[in-house]
Structure 1
């Protein structure tokens, strides 16, 4: 069962991080995500804008080859961990949660990880419902995600739940989905 309190705490941190990002970097963002691991570590923010992608790929030896490789890479974005300090209370909260490795069965382990990821997904949905990621054309041009690394098919399932059908989601599904 997903903890609404945990989702609210993650939403508070993500709201702070992404709001600051959008304010300090008024660019055309197409990708905003929270990243976690298969062990359910606390979420970490990342984002890409078209302008950041152009700048970052232009700095590569072969910009046109680099661009598609960078486009959906959370860790190669200049905005990887932007505003991460806002997640310190979330990290403390995760440290207080049960250690999933201490659980007696694989099923219990999976259930605990799923609960954490569900809280992250709920947080991003709350922020989307508030309009943090924009409305109208701005929101239609952005994919909002909760991604587990290493990637698995559930990343795609969450993407379909968090985003309306449209060109940017279609592109993500074609280029990056599992």
Structure 2
């Protein structure tokens, strides 16, 4: 049976909640400013990465890597939670095995499920509330860069310093 979009979103919500909760609990004293679910252009099941201000401050190349999911010491975290989600994604049709229209629809469905999961967690206060939430950038990223990453960032984040800094980094302020 092919998992529905709601099933993907529910599984991602549960997995990402557990992964982020573990990340925050296991790294006391870290102020996380960036949390992202990433997927390649095939929209495979996502990976979770994050950055904290403390780990970034230790990097000589901080400006170059501050929003790089791959360069973070917290890259690809929570695998034990996300592995079953990847299996659900793999149970759906392969994006590039479909005709153009169906491929676009499948790709969009997967990204919507990812975005829905992070929006739910944001609404729960997992990334902070009020001013604290505005200091955390939460993303669903297609890597390498996808033009729709910006639209998803704007939908997932309140106006504030985290979103403004990311947009400025990409010269989109």
TM-score of the aligned structures, taking structure 1 as reference length: 0.90
For residue 177 of structure 1, report the CA deviation from its aligned partner: 6.7
Which consecutive aligned stretches of 4+ in structure 1 deviate over 3 angstroms post-superposition?
A: none
Unaligned runs of 5+ in 1: 58-62
Partner of 2:15: 13
Q: Which residue among 41, 45, 68 is the counterpart of 1:42? A: 45
Query: Counting helix residues as a fraction of each chain, which structure ranks higher?
Result: 1
The 2-side partners of 1:129 and 1:29 are apart by: 17
Partner of 1:60: none
Partner of 2:121: 127
1:100 aligns with 2:95: yes
Q: How do residues 144-155 of structure 1 correspond to structure 2 at under 5 angstroms?
A: 144-155=138-149
1:4 aligns with 2:2: no
Q: Deviation digits for residues 105-156 of structure 1, max 9, x if unmatched?
A: 2121111011001100000000001111111232111111000011122000
**Does the CA contact (< 8 Å) of 2:16 and 2:82 recur in 1?**
yes
RMSD: 1.3
Partner of 2:157: 163
